[in-house]
């Protein structure tokens, strides 16, 4: 499958509500999902929404890697294999929220703190047209909220409460502790959700 071009902040497709997918089992939906997964992997992303690849459909692909989830959730992370969500719907479970830095493939090299619900219920359809309902919390819930925001024309900078903490990742590290050293001295980016 070809690597798809990722829309960047400012492109009109990222500002509109995506359309429902009428037939999740249609072959063109499966082809798009395959191309989205390949594009996400090529960009080293955690998730990707169809509007980010210039398709106004309510489709998300994402994954949660064990090491990343453990890092973000303080050692109690949840691993999720690469998953496709067709027509996902999110419902908060409770009022509890948390704030963490997020990044995005459509807003390259930047990060900022975003408040998200700590626990959510997710309902979606599979590529076979089956309806699935599940709950998620922590980093998993954050990734899902970030990706599903794209389906409603919302980019994470729109949710930042204190814009003084929004900026380029390398500059944030100089004054805000956004970059930390690994045990081997390599710097790593601590942005929480990077689709």
Residues annotated as catalytic (active site), given as ranges: 147
H or E segment to which residue 94 belongs: none
What is the DSSP pairing of strand 80-92 with strand 59-64? antiparallel
CB atoms within 10 A of CB 44: 8
DSSP secondary structure letters along 20-65: P-S-TT-HHHHHHHHHHHHHHHHTT-SEEEGGGGT--B-EEEEEE-
Contact 105, 45 (CB under 8 A): yes
Angle subtended at Cα 90 by Cα 88 and Cα 96, rounded to the nearest 5 degrees: 160
- Structure-token match 């599903």, residue found: 148
End-to-end CA distance of the chain: 19
Angle subtended at Cα 22 by Cα 137 and Cα 147, rounded to the nearest 5 degrees: 30
């Amino acid at each position: 499958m070809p690597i798809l071009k990722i829309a960047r902040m400012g492109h009109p497709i990222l500002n509109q509500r995506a359309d429902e997918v009428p037939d999740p089992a249609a072959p063109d939906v499966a082809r798009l999902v395959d191309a989205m997964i390949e594009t996400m992997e090529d960009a080293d992303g955690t998730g990707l929404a169809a509007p980010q690849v210039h398709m106004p459909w309510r489709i998300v692909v994402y994954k949660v890697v064990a090491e990343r989830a453990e890092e973000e959730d303080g050692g109690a992370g949840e691993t999720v294999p690469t998953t496709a969500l067709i027509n996902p719907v999110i419902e908060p479970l409770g009022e509890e929220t948390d704030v963490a830095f997020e990044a995005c493939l459509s807003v390259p090299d930047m990060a900022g703190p975003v408040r998200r619900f700590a626990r959510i219920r997710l309902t979606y359809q599979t590529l076979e047209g089956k309806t699935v309902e599940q709950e998620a919390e922590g980093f998993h819930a954050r990734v899902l909220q970030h990706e599903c925001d794209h389906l409603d024309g919302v980019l994470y900078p729109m949710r930042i409460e204190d814009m003084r903490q929004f900026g380029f990742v390398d500059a944030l590290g100089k004054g805000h502790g956004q970059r930390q050293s690994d045990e081997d001295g390599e710097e790593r980016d601590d942005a929480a959700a990077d689709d």
